[in-house]
Amino acid sequence: MRFRFAPFALICALSIAGMTLAQAQPKLQPRSGGGDTKGGGGGQTQTTGGLIEKITPEGTIAALKAAGYTDLETYADNQGNKHVKGKINGNAVAIVHYCEKGECQFISFVLPLGKQSNIDINWVNSWNYDKLFGKLSQDKEGNTYFQMECYLFGGVSPAHVTSAGKLFGELIKILYDYKPG
């Protein structure tokens, strides 16, 4: 009796597994339009539906002008990578582009604050605990940095970068008024 049950159980298990594997699976559809095309103004990489997945420093400049940034220009780092610097609300900021083969899928707004006598690691941790957007950090020399990332993965509207720039400007104001609780 025991030996008859084992083959029956094996057949049932394989049947159920076969039915599960045979069920319809969602199929990812390829992007229509033959791939990315340049468009959207200002060096942004355009995809279907008016969304961008990548941005150039020149595209960032166009987006941040609309956000109220001034004195915007590109600069190159020590490895020759292009980034953007400018001002928002009188604060000098850098917009670092993280790129692969010239295609940047995310950028980071950075406000270098230098050494601040009234900001220690407890102050930094308090901000990072209390606030959702924008993070503070300190390097080994005690320089403080405020930064916020802007991701373009999966496609965003071109206005997303402009909105992120505005948000960073507002967060700087909030940072200057912040009192650890």
Q: Give tens-digit pLDDT for 77-134.
A: 998 889 999 999 999 999 999 988 777 899 999 999 999 888 889 999 999 999 988 9
DSSP assignments along 10-34, one per residue: HHHHHHHHHHHHHS----PPPPSSS
Residues 46 and 39: their CA atoms lie apart, in Å, by 5
Both structure tokens of 38: 């340049």
CA angle 160, 166, 168 (to 5 degrees): 105
pLDDT in tens, 44-58: 554 446 899 999 999
Choice among 3-12, 98-107, 130-139 with the minimum mean pLDDT: 3-12
Q: pLDDT at position 4, please? A: 52
Please state the pTM of the whole predicted model: 0.72
Q: Which domains does the chain have, with CATH numbers?
A: 38-177 (3.30.1460)
Q: Determine the pLDDT at residue 23.
A: 42
